[in-house]
């Protein structure tokens, strides 16, 4: 199962990694780290398939029948493996809590380095190549050995003044220095164009220079292509996937304490934006009191402000309103970031436990299923295992998506797959204890015949009435 998931990852990122001249060592290192990160996903599927195959083989060889005939119940048969699955689930949690964060950090750091690195320069016929900073190169055709080139066009914008330099040549050669640090284009029978701006008397005049050459060397620095640039792992260690339970608890507690402090800071600093000039306030109070005494109070605020202060008050009010809106937007965005961080940390916290518990749950589904199917091997058990694992995977991802979008509490979203599949475990255990043949063709044929007989009997009864 781990191999299948690792190959799925490799095919997903193959287009971004192939063709860069990556060594086999780097590819194997990346696959090793990614395989470790895929263990929590592969282990439940492996447990489900193994339990169906084991009990299916025992049922196919009538071993379960022999054991049951001696007075041993199915639950007692499942008990030793249940204890083993408790141990495996505990080890899976330890692995998810201790190893997975380190593997995630190293895997995604290495993947970022490989995706952003340029290990080899690939110049294709008839296409512009912009991998060398400051240059755009187009080659009309190349020889089979890749050295002879024809119809060469080079745009040089390394001076940050646009495409002010251009080189055109009919043919040339691509050569590399002994240390592979420099690439030399030895061009023959071509033209070089350069544009320049001359400033005289405050006016700009443009000129173009054209030079013909029989042979010219254009040297490109390939130092950025020589090796993978190593990213400092500390820049990515703050991701929730790179943390263990203790670190997640610390971050969750920190975010929960920061949110009220941000609200209190907003409430305190908002007072600085709601002010009124003292001299204007005195005049305003007197006007209001007079209006209330004379029963001529109006809702128009500006009518009680003297004309000499009205413009100033309006300008101050507009400025304060704009500042208040900006401050409110910033605070709202900060609270939104805190909420997003809190959800992500809680999702990762529950994921470590839920995936470990999934091993135990899928065993309780797979073991009775195998006893009911009574088929060993890879055929039917693999199909049934994939169906239930897909159901588990879809409900798990759906619950996580609903949790991160604030449509469900994090606890409900992350344990949604467990809530959905647990009833199936009890149903299958009960069916296996009663020797149900729900996966047998005869069982469906017999029950379908009974259903048809009930309908026929009902129609006959209605016709007689």
Chain segment 29-59, per-residue pLDDT in tens: 777 888 888 888 888 888 988 898 888 888 8
Give residue 91's pLDDT.
92
Name, of 256-265, 370-379, 430-439, the range with top average pLDDT: 256-265
Asked if 49 and 162 sit in the same domain, the reply is no
pLDDT in tens, 147-186: 888 888 888 887 766 677 888 998 988 887 776 677 788 8
Give residue 86's pLDDT.
93
Which residues share a beta bridge with 152?
139, 169
Asked if 93 and 240 sit in the same domain, the reply is yes
Element counts in the chain: helices (H) and strands (E): 12, 6
Give residue 85's pLDDT.
92
In this predicted structure, the answer to whether residue 270 has a pLDDT above a threshold of 80 is: no
Asked if 297 and 322 sit in the same domain, the reply is yes
Q: Tell me if 40 sits within 8 A of 96, measured CB to CB.
A: yes
Asked if 210 and 85 sit in the same domain, the reply is no
Min mean pLDDT across 58-62, 117-121, 239-243 is at 117-121
Min mean pLDDT across 298-312, 318-332, 389-403, 423-437 is at 298-312
Record the tokens describing residue 424, joined without a space: 């199936």
On whether residue 463 sits in a domain, the answer given is no
On whether residue 111 sits in a domain, the answer given is yes
Record the tokens describing residue 361, joined without a space: 């749950």
Taking alpha carbons only, the member of 153, 220, 140 closest to residue 193 is 153
Neighbours of 62 (CB within 10 A): 11
Give residue 438's pLDDT.
62
Domain final residue, candidates 177, 204, 225: 225
On whether residue 1 sits in a domain, the answer given is yes
Burial class (CB in 10 A: 0-12, 13-18, 19+), 81: middle
In this predicted structure, the answer to whether residue 282 has a pLDDT above a threshold of 90 is: no
Beta strands in 177-202 (DSSP E): 182-200
In this predicted structure, the answer to whether residue 25 has a pLDDT above a threshold of 60 is: yes
Residue 293's pLDDT band (boundaries 50, 70, 90)? Answer: low
Q: Tell me if 219 sits within 8 A of 179, measured CB to CB.
A: no
Name, of 12-26, 132-146, 250-264, the range with top average pLDDT: 250-264
Asked if 320 and 434 sit in the same domain, the reply is yes
Domain final residue, candidates 225, 246, 271: 225
Asked if 186 and 235 sit in the same domain, the reply is no
On whether residue 347 sits in a domain, the answer given is yes
Domain final residue, candidates 203, 225, 247: 225
Asked if 103 and 231 sit in the same domain, the reply is yes
User: For 220, phi and psi rounded to 5 degrees?
Assistant: -120, 135
DSSP 125: B
Residue 119's pLDDT band (boundaries 50, 70, 90)? Answer: very low
On whether residue 462 sits in a domain, the answer given is no
pLDDT in tens, 64-108: 888 888 888 888 888 999 999 999 999 999 988 888 888 888 887
pLDDT in tens, 206-230: 777 888 888 888 888 776 655 555 6
Segment holding 162, helix H or strand E: none
Give residue 124's pLDDT.
77
> Which domain does 187 fall in, by range?
128-225
For residues 316-332, average pLDDT: 82
Asked if 16 and 33 sit in the same domain, the reply is yes
Average pLDDT, the chain: 79
Asked if 245 and 215 sit in the same domain, the reply is no
On whether residue 171 sits in a domain, the answer given is yes
For residues 358-387, average pLDDT: 84
pLDDT in tens, 326-344: 888 888 888 888 888 899 8
Asked if 244 and 219 sit in the same domain, the reply is no
pLDDT in tens, 123-152: 778 888 777 777 888 888 888 777 888 888
Give residue 274's pLDDT.
65
In this predicted structure, the answer to whether residue 374 has a pLDDT above a threshold of 90 is: no
On whether residue 255 sits in a domain, the answer given is yes
Residues 6+ apart with CB under 8 A from 387: none
Asked if 32 and 92 sit in the same domain, the reply is yes
Residue with more model confidence, 376 or 369:
369
Q: Tell me if 47 sits within 8 A of 85, measured CB to CB.
A: yes
Strand 182-200 relative to strand 148-156: parallel, antiparallel, unpaired? unpaired
Residue 463's pLDDT band (boundaries 50, 70, 90)? Answer: low
User: For 323, phi and psi rounded to 5 degrees?
Assistant: -65, -40
Asked if 73 and 146 sit in the same domain, the reply is no
Our count of domains for the chain comes to 2
On whether residue 465 sits in a domain, the answer given is no
How many angstroms from the chain centroid is the CA of residue 299? 55
């Amino acid at each position: 199962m781990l191999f299948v998931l690792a190959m799925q990852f490799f095919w997903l990122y193959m287009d971004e990694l192939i063709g860069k001249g990556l060594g086999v060592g780097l590819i194997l290192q990346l696959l090793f780290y990614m395989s470790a990160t895929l263990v929590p996903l592969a282990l439940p599927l492996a447990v489900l398939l193994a339990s169906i195959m084991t009990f299916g083989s025992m049922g196919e060889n009538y071993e379960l029948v022999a054991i049951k005939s001696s007075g041993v119940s199915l639950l007692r048969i499942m008990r030793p493996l249940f204890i083993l699955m408790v141990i495996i689930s505990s080890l899976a949690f330890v692995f998810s809590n201790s190893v997975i964060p380190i593997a995630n950090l190293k895997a995604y750091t290495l993947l970022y380095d490989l995706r952003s690195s340029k290990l080899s320069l690939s110049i294709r016929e008839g296409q512009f190549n912009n991998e060398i900073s400051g240059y755009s190169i187009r080659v009309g055709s190349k020889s089979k050995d890749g050295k002879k080139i024809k119809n060469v066009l080079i745009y040089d914008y390394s001076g940050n003044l646009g495409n002010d330099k251009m080189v055109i040549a009919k043919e040339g050669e691509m050569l590399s220095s002994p240390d592979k640090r420099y690439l030399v284009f030895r061009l023959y029978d071509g033209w070089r164009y350069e544009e320049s701006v001359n400033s005289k008397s405050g006016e700009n005049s443009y000129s173009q220079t054209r030079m013909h050459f029989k042979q010219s060397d254009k040297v490109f620095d390939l130092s950025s292509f020589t090796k993978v640039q190593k990213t400092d792992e500390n820049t990515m260690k703050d991701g929730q996937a790179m943390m263990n339970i203790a670190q997640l608890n610390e971050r969750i507690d920190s975010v929960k304490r920061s949110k009220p402090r941000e609200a209190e800071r907003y409430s305190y600093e908002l007072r600085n934006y709601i002010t009124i000039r003292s001299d204007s306030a005195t005049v305003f109070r007197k006007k209001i009191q007079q209006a209330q005494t004379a029963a001529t109070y109006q809702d128009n605020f500006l009518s009680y402000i003297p004309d000499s202060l009205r413009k100033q008050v309006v300008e101050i009010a507009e400025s304060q309103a704009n500042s208040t809106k900006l401050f409110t937007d910033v605070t709202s965005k900060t609270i939104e970031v805190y909420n997003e961080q809190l959800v992500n940390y809680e999702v990762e916290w529950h994921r470590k436990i839920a995936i470990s518990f999934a091993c135990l749950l899928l065993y309780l589904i797979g073991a009775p299923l195998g006893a009911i199917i009574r088929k060993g091997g890879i055929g039917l058990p693999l199909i049934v295992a994939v169906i239930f694992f897909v159901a588990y995977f879809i409900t798990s991802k759906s619950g996580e998506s609903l949790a991160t979008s604030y449509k469900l509490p994090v606890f409900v979203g992350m344990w949604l797959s467990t809530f959905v599949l647990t009833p199936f475990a009890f149903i299958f255990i009960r069916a296996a204890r009663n020797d149900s043949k729900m996966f047998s063709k005869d069982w469906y044929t017999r029950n379908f015949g009974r259903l048809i007989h009930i309908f026929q009997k009902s129609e006959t009864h209605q016709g007689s009435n």
